Amino acid sequence: MQTGTGKTALITGASSGIGQELAKLFAQDGYNLILVGRSEDKLDRLSEVFKANYGTQYITIINKDLSKEDIAIELYDEVKAKGIQVDVLVNDAGVSTYGKFATETNWERERELVHLNILTTTLMTKLFLKDMVERNDGKILQLASLVAITPFPLMAVYAATKAYIWNLTQSLNNELKGTNVTITALMPNATDTNFFREAGAPELIVEDMTDKPDMVARDGYRALMRGEAKVVPGGFVNKAQEVMAYLTPQEGLAAMMRKLLTPKYDEDGEEETSPWAIGLGIAVAAVAGYALVRFLNHVSPEDKARFRAQVADFGDSIANSTTNALSSVAHSVAGEYLGLKADVEGAEEELA
């Protein structure tokens, strides 16, 4: 049983998924908790588990739908009225829709999405951040996403809201320099929760490539406690996708992300493109990114030949295996890689 810290963490979206796993980590470390969500029964059960397993001293349950107008002010006022100081704010709550923006999605749901993901998150951040700055102490974790830096056809509005959160968080990081207050953007890949079903999506290709929410929460929690500006949880593929997002032409990137959101089965029940092939395409793009980054960082003339050979050997082996995979997606990315590699080598030769 962890001795209490005397500090309080407020977590939105705490009743399931990443939010629930984050609440568990705070409970394990002895934080008092304010759990916010739409399912009061789930939050009550979670409270009982935390008290029994971790000896959590104080848990406050607040049942609110954060997609509604002015709800952030209501929540803030309720916390202040209870005399609770929020030392850590976790803005985890978020929703999405699925479908073509022009013809398939519902505006009322999208309006709630924008209100929750942008307006409520912004106002929650502003209200509690002001108190933290006045005390010169506090931490905030914002749930962004890897799609904050990529196009995301069929979930276009969701991705746009995550881009907003990402940008806001990085701007506030600069404004908070010189204080003891930190704000961290958590940028997970697709995660094994009920997110896609709640968005109204069928079973999608991307769901064969999801990360576990406990891993995402653990990496996010660690980065939060260290005061890091952002964290991409997980291993090589997720880090590679971040590199790919910065370096791949937007049209090609949009096509790849669209493929991830394609239904897993076609109308005849046949399985669509293998997620392995798409993952391979991401790896190829990462190799291209590695080549460009090394070049732009002004590798020494002595290293150029060795660097070119390493990239060529590794990248060509992946590209060749891709052509054998019969995947148009991965194959197109492999072609993109070969073109990028040629540009890098040509530029090197001009400068040599």
Which residues belong to the active site? 158
3-state SS record for the chain: CCCCCCCEEEEECCCCHHHHHHHHHHHHCCCEEEEEECCHHHHHHHHHHHHHHHCCCCEEEEECCCCCCCHHHHHHHHHHHCCCCCCEEEECCCCCCCCCCCCCCCHHHHHHHHHHHHHHHHHHHHHHHHHHHHHCCEEEEEECCHHHHCCCCCCHHHHHHHHHHHHHHHHHHHHCCCCCEEEEEECCCCECCCHHHHCCCCCEHHHHHCECHHHHHHHHHHHHHHCCCEECCCCHHHHHHHHHHHHCCHHHHHHHHHHHCCECECCCCCECCCHHHHHHHHHHHHHHHHHHHHHHCCCCHHHHHHHHHHHHHHHHHHHHHHHCCCCHHHHHHHHHHHHHHHHHHHHHHHHC
Q: How far apart are CA 104 and CA 331, in angstroms?
A: 30
Q: Are 14 and 45 in contact (CB under 8 A)?
A: no
For residues 335, 307, 280 and 247, what is the CA-based torsion angle, rounded to 10 degrees?
Answer: -70
Identity at 296, one-letter amino acid code: L
Q: Are 257 and 150 in contact (CB under 8 A)?
A: yes
CA distances from 258 to 31, 149, 184, 244 (A): 41, 14, 28, 15
